[in-house]
Structures are given as C-alpha cells and as structure tokens.
Amino acid sequence: MPAPVIGRHAAPESPVDVLTDLLAVQRRRLAALDPRLPEAAAPPPGDIVVVGKPPHRVAGVVTHHTWPAGSGPLLWSATQVSELHPVIGAAGHAPLHALVEAWRGRMLPVVLAEPDSAATITWPSRDVVATRVFLDHGLVPLAVLAVRPPGPYPVPPPDPDLVVRRAGPDDLEGCVRLALEELAYSSQVGGSLLRPDAEALKRATIRDRLGRGEPTWVAERGGRLVGMVECGQAESAPGSWLASLVPPGGWGYVNCASVTSAERGSGVGQRLVAAALPELEAGFRGRQDLAVRGTYLYYNPPNPLSSVFWPRAGYAPLWTLWEVRPARALR
C-alpha cells in the first residue's frame, strides 16, 4: 500500500507551484518529441491561468504586448498581441482545449476591441496533439522557425552574367527595393504587413545593417541588383530570448531573402544561399570558443515559393507560430 502523501502537497498549491511541476513534465515531453529543441524554458511573467484538476490539470501564462507606432516589428506583427505560453506537462487534447478557452476569457478588453490585434502561440512543430487543438480554435500556422545543421549546400552551376557578392553601404537603394518587393509578396502569404511607413522603416534598418557590416549578399545582373539575402549571427546564451528557441551556442540566421519577380525560379536564390551559408557556418569572428550549431530562419507555410525553397535547402520546422487576427476571432 502506498505511503500517505504528506508534506508540501498537504497545503494548497500556489499557481507558481503548479507551473513549476508541469514545466518539469513538459521538459520531458518536448525532449522526447524533438531532440533538436532546447530545454523547455520557463514562461515569462504574466497572468497565470490554471485549468482543471490533477491528473488533467494544465496551466499557461498569458502576456500582452503593444508595439509602438513606427516600430519595426509592426511590419510583421499586429499592434496589440495577446500571447499564450502553455505549460501543459504531458496533457492531451481535452485539457489543452480547456486552456485555450480559458485564455480567451483572460484577454484584455483593449485587445478584443482592437481590429489590429492578434492572439499568438509559439509551439514545437512536431507536437501534433497541440496542432489539432490550435486548428480547432481557429489559429493558423502563419510562420515556422526552421533550422538547418551545418553542412554542404549544393552549389548550382555558374551563371556567367550574375555577380554574387557581399553588399556594402552603396547598395542601400537596391536592397530597399528588394526588401519592399519581399514584403509585398509576403504580406499576401503570411503575417507581414505593408504599412504606410514600410519604406522608411526598411531604409533605416538596412542603412544601419549595411553600415555595421552585417553579412548581406546581393546578386547583380547588368549592374542592377536582382537578389539579396540579409543574414546575421547570434549567440543562444543561457537566459536569452534565443535560448528559449534553439540550443545554446552560435547560430547563423537568414533575416530576409528576396529575388526580384522576373528572376525567380532561375537559381539566383540558390546562388545567394550557396555564398552565405559557408560564411555563417564558419564561426564567429573573435569567438573561437563559440561553436556554430546551425542556421535558422522564419518562413510562412502558405508561401508557395519559400515553403519549397527552404526545405529543399535543408531547413526543417522546429517551432510553429500560431496566430489569429484579430484576437477576438479566437474561438
């Protein structure tokens, strides 16, 4: 006969205790599901929601964010964002349904009233139990964070008329044109938004990036830029935002890839990636201690070009960004 449970379970558990217990189980669930994931991070501070009773009890943290007018993230995000951070242990469909329903009840009136709003969840792509639940509540898999381990990329046959090179400050206008072309395309197939200040925002960001020497490659034909891939390197350091998404270490990332419409499908994108990857994977300048774990990027599953192009280049979904706009459309 099992010994009676005494001690800390004799007193009622606080919501923080519930989160802590469920997080330990969730860590095991996600580690078993996908070894490419980092250890599941604790949710950020916010409104703790606990639903149900053991053994079907689940929890989550609801956060709210308002992006200020004129800020860069408004080119891919709604202004008012309610985010659910599920902490569900090993739970299946029914408890997760209950948690999503409870989330709707906790959304701030300002979010529910705002047309430029979104309800979002970022969750491991391979957790298909959650996929079923999110789809049933009207959430859409608008983007994925996809990763690629370091490794050779097939170099396409040479194109004698195409010059692929690192971009410099003089390439600003060509890069802005290509970035706006990408934004216009992506706004039809994902969460990007062609807001009135898009050109000014892109110009300021790209001027800054090129000025700092951030790795950007361009493809030039006949003196005109026809393609661009904006990249960078970042450390997934313990406690950082990136560490909640990818394992610790050095990572290369691809921020924006754009080939002008008349040149798409003819190998320009592949030549740009073939130029960028070896450098992104070679290591961090001045950081011999930091091994490069791979590269990551975001793409939109409804994008018929990038959803073919990136998986063919070796990228596989790690996290899915579920979203519904406006937030009140969550059902």
Ligand X SMILES: CC(C)(COP(=O)(O)OP(=O)(O)OC[C@H]1O[C@@H](n2cnc3c(N)ncnc32)[C@H](O)[C@@H]1OP(=O)(O)O)[C@@H](O)C(=O)NCCC(=O)NCCS
Residues found near ligand X in the complex (CB under 6 A): 182, 185-186, 257-259, 264-270, 299, 303, 305-306, 308-309
Give the number of C-alpha atoms closer than 13 A to the C-alpha of residue 220, restricted to the C-beta side: 14
Shortest CB 13 distance to ligand X, Å = 44
Shortest CB 166 distance to ligand X, Å = 18
Shortest CB 313 distance to ligand X, Å = 9
50 vs 176, beta carbon nearer ligand X: 176
Shortest CB 316 distance to ligand X, Å = 15
92 vs 156, beta carbon nearer ligand X: 156
Shortest CB 306 distance to ligand X, Å = 4
181 vs 214, beta carbon nearer ligand X: 181
Shortest CB 79 distance to ligand X, Å = 23
62 vs 276, beta carbon nearer ligand X: 276
66 vs 266, beta carbon nearer ligand X: 266
54 vs 304, beta carbon nearer ligand X: 304
Residue nearest to ligand X (CB): 269
Burial class (CB in 10 A: 0-12, 13-18, 19+), 223: exposed
63 vs 266, beta carbon nearer ligand X: 266
Shortest CB 74 distance to ligand X, Å = 18
